[in-house]
């Protein structure tokens, strides 16, 4: 039985630029760096970057896969990243479901989306401890 997604790997021939972008520009939480393979950790999930001999140059179809990264304040992240020279192909826009999405390019031209989800609304609890 498959129990969930535990990781995603972006293979590249441009690991130095990719490492710098994801670690320093996006400020993802570094888990490990083995020179030719870098992992960022989000709880039990890993986003990794690695050198691969069969991968060369930028993404040929950057729309095929998009990584969604959560943002607490998508507008502040958009301003910060734009000031650092990150190219956005879509500025923050509110979706019909209420959340916000912005799309940017990494050094290999992969598309990455920032998502600001709606705050979770918990059900009201009555004084007896029952939810309504």
Q: What is the pLDDT of residues 80-105, one digit of tens each?
A: 999 999 999 999 999 999 999 999 99
For the chain, the straight-line distance linking the first and the last C-alpha, in angstroms and rounded, comes to 34
Mean pLDDT for the chain overall: 91
Q: Calculate the CA 131 to chain-centre distance.
A: 34
> Do the strands 111-116 and 7-12 form a parallel or antiparallel pair, or are they unpaired?
unpaired
C-alpha 132/C-alpha 119 separation (Å) is: 19
State residue 90's pLDDT score. 97
| 62-132 has the same fold as 1-53 | yes
CATH class of 62-132: alpha beta
| For residue 121, pLDDT beyond 80 | no
Can you read off the two tokens belonging to residue 124? 């009201």
Residue with tokens 């990494």: 106
What pTM, to 2 d.p., does this model score?
Answer: 0.84
Q: Are 116 and 72 in contact (CB under 8 A)?
A: yes
Topology (CATH) of 1-53: 2,3-Dihydroxybiphenyl 1,2-Dioxygenase; domain 1 (3.10.180)
Domain boundaries, the chain: 1-53, 62-132
């Amino acid at each position: 039985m498959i129990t969930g997604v535990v990781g995603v790997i972006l293979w590249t021939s441009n690991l130095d630029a990719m490492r710098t972008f994801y670690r320093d520009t996006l400020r993802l939480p570094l888990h490990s760096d083995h020179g030719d393979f870098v992992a960022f950790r989000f709880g039990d999930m890993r986003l990794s970057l690695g050198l691969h001999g069969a991968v060369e140059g930028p993404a040929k179809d950057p729309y095929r896969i998009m990584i969604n990264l959560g943002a607490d304040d998508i507008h502040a992240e958009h301003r910060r990243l734009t000031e650092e020279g990150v190219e956005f192909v879509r500025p923050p826009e509110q979706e019909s479901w209420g959340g916000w999405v912005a799309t940017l390019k990494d050094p290999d031209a992969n598309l990455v989306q920032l998502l600001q989800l709606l705050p979770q609304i918990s059900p009201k609890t009555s004084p007896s401890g029952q939810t309504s």
